[in-house]
Amino acid sequence: MDTRGSFCVGTCGVLLAVALWGPGRAAQAGDAPKPAEGAGAALKWFPGHYLLLGWRAVPSATVKDGDGPNAATPERWSVIADNPHFAGGQRIYLWKHLEPQKGRYDFSRIEKDLAYLKAHNKRLVVEVWDTYFFGKLTAAPDYLLTDPAYKGGIFYRAKPGQKDRGSIVKRYVPAVMDRYIALVCELGRRFDSDPHLAGFANTETSMSNVTGSEDFDARACEEQMKRLVTASGQAFPSTPVFIYGNWYHNQAALKELAEHAYANGLVWGGPDLCPPAQRGWGDQILRAYQGRMAGGLAVQWQSYDGRWTAEQLFDCGVNDLKLSFIFWMDVERKKNGGLSFREDVIPVVNRYKGRIHTARPENLAAPITVGVPASGGSR
């Protein structure tokens, strides 16, 4: 049986653990999604196709929120609630909503989604955004922006003369990463044992336009992201953990992070499934680790713009990249010559009966000892 032991200690949320992985179930690439059985059952394993919803709980016609003007209320899951070819849903949650005040957590949004999906025997993958990619909004809690210990907490992505492009949390500041790890630890305490939690994802590594931050330190960023990889795996000892690898400050550093993710038993994820899967550094890593580290990609706005058919997107993810998880955003771009999740994607997933790569990867099947993340500084 697979076991990963972990525990959080102290008010700083420092996570200490040693994790051991045992042999996993040898599933075939064409199997329909189903839980692991027998050996390895302690680690939940629910590969499959998932509906992806954005973070907003109310409609908005003015702010791009991950799924346009449509509300991401629990009822939005109804489109896949009775579909046997979808394993469940993935939802984006903002850090500031989960920790509205320092050390005070509110997980009610996650609990509502879980309750709805459980009622339909579906599962949830939680993705937390610490960075916001549009406009002037931030995903970081207010205290991070006002307490000088966090050195401003964020920087804005836009270069001079550009339109607002969101904000990036200063992950390279140890005190900032300490707080984020504390959140991950609390989420693990609350939800890791829930049988309907199918995964936990940290948002993408993208640090584009780091010139907007005068204090950016590439080496510190690499060290802190490795801390996050280790701590996340330990916070969720029985749940697959994703690190979303996208554009980083350099390719060599992203490859190094991928190797650390592999060694710590994580899943390599990313934000955009775009054939022919040669778009970015993250896709190259997926290819390099096929069979060794599981992959999971989201199908978001640009994937629906009409350059590819739903069949081509499915083929790229399942047959080319051999993904174990595909997160399909509920997008409607039919009027602009693009695709519709409901009219195009669902029929393709149904036609192939939810086919996905279900075999446990090497890093979830062989014994692995996970290191202990050191504290990065004061909180």
Tens digits of per-residue pLDDT, 294-338? 999 999 988 999 999 999 999 999 999 999 999 999 999 998 899
Lowest pLDDT segment from 151-160, 266-275, 282-291, 307-316: 151-160
**Residue 113, number of CB atoms within 10 A of its CB:** 25
Confidence check: pLDDT of 90 > 70:
yes
CA atoms within 13 A on the CB side of 283: 15
For 105, the token pair is 């957590």
Count of alpha carbons within 13 angstroms of residue 275, beta-carbon side = 17
CA distance 134 to 37: 42
Highest mean pLDDT among 53-67, 70-84, 184-198: 184-198
Q: Please compute the mean of the pLDDT values over residues 98-126 and round it to a whole number.
A: 96
Query: For residue 93, what are the domain limits?
Result: 3-364
Q: Mean pLDDT throughout 81-108?
A: 96
Grade residue 168 by pLDDT with cuts at 50, 70 and 90. Answer: confident
In a domain, 378, yes or no: no
Buried/exposed code over 241-252 (b: 16+ C-beta within 10 A; e: otherwise): bbbbbbbbbeee
Percentage of the residues of the chain whose pLDDT score is greater than 90: 58
The per-residue pLDDT of the chain, averaged, comes to 80
pLDDT band per the 50, 70, 90 thresholds, residue 290: very high
Domain count along the chain: 1
| Assigned domain for 190 exists | yes
Among 200, 198, 173, 297, residue whose Cα is nearest residue 245:
297
374 in a structural domain: no
* Distance of alpha carbon 52 from alpha carbon 63, whole angstroms: 18
Q: Any idea what the CATH number is for the domain that residue 68 is in? A: 3.20.20.80
β-pair partners for 327: 50, 298
Q: Is the pLDDT of residue 179 over 90?
A: yes
Asked whether residue 40 carries a pLDDT value surpassing 70, the answer given is no
The residue among 77, 86, 85, 84 whose CA lies nearest residue 53 is 77
Residue 26 lies in a domain: yes
Other beta carbons within 10 angstroms of residue 378's beta carbon come to: 9
* 372 within domain boundaries: no
Position 282 in a domain: yes
Residue 215, pLDDT > 80, answer: yes
DSSP SS3 for 254: helix
Instruction: Fill in the amino acid letter for 181.
Output: I
When mean pLDDT is compared across 30-44, 84-98, 204-218, the lowest value belongs to 30-44
In a domain, 57, yes or no: yes
**The predicted structure's pLDDT at residue 249:** 78
Which string of b and e fits 314-335 if b means at least 16 CB within 10 Å?
bbbbbebbbbbbbbbbbbbbee
Q: Phi-psi category of 129—alpha, beta or left, where left has phi over 0 and alpha has psi -120 to 50?
A: beta
377 falls within a domain: no
Over residues 222-278, the pLDDT tens digits come to: 999 999 999 999 999 999 999 998 778 788 889 999 999 999 999 999 888 988 765
| Of 278, 281, 233, residue with least CA distance to 254 | 281
pLDDT at 15 over 60: no
Tokens at 328, concatenated: 């399909």
